[in-house]
């Protein structure tokens, strides 16, 4: 997870090929030269689920997760994030917060996420 970035706000019509969409986004919105973008390689690129958007009843574009092959490429893209100020696009790391913990509830058989700070519990998977 240390080499992952989550891209949000990229329109659905260009997300047929998520890797191509991310590379086009890096060149056009992050102002990374085309030659540099072509050298950036990924282990995998895929969409996150629409589950949260369906619950909220919104039609936001699905976020895309990109796992970079090289950490320095991830850091280059992340450093260009300031180019997105004032836009509806976003980039963030996908690292789990230390305040969150996954656990298995033996009484009901659920996998739950507990936020230590806010004391909220979220059911992630039902067995």
- Write out pLDDT tens, residues 83-102: 888 888 889 887 655 445 55
Has residue 73 got a pLDDT over 60?
A: yes
As to burial, measured by CB atoms within 10 angstroms (0-12 exposed, 13-18 middle, 19+ buried), residue 125 is exposed
Q: Which residues pair with 111 in a beta bridge?
A: 104, 125
Residue listed under structure tokens 């969150």 = 100
Model confidence over 26-40: pLDDT tens digits? 999 999 999 999 999
What domains, with CATH codes, occur in the chain? 4-93 (3.30.70), 97-127 (no CATH)
Q: For the chain, give the DSSP string.
A: -TTEEEEE---GGG-SSHHHHHHHHHHHTS---HHHHHH--EEEEEEPPSHHHHHHT--PPPPEEEEESSHHHHHHHHHGGGGGTTSS-EEEE-PPPTTEEEEE-TTT-EEEEEETTT--EEEEEE-
């Amino acid at each position: 997870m240390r080499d992952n970035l989550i891209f949000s706000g990229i329109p659905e019509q260009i997300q047929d090929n998520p890797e191509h969409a991310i590379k086009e986004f890096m060149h056009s919105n992050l102002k990374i030269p085309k030659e540099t973008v072509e050298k950036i390689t990924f282990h995998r690129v895929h969409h996150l689920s629409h589950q949260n958007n369906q619950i909220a009843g919104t039609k936001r574009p699905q976020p895309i997760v990109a796992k970079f092959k090289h950490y320095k490429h991830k850091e280059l893209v992340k450093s260009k994030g300031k180019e997105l100020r004032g836009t509806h696009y976003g980039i963030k790391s996908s690292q789990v917060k230390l305040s969150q913990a996954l656990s298995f509830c033996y009484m009901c058989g659920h996998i739950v996420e507990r936020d230590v700070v806010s004391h909220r519990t979220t059911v992630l998977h039902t067995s």
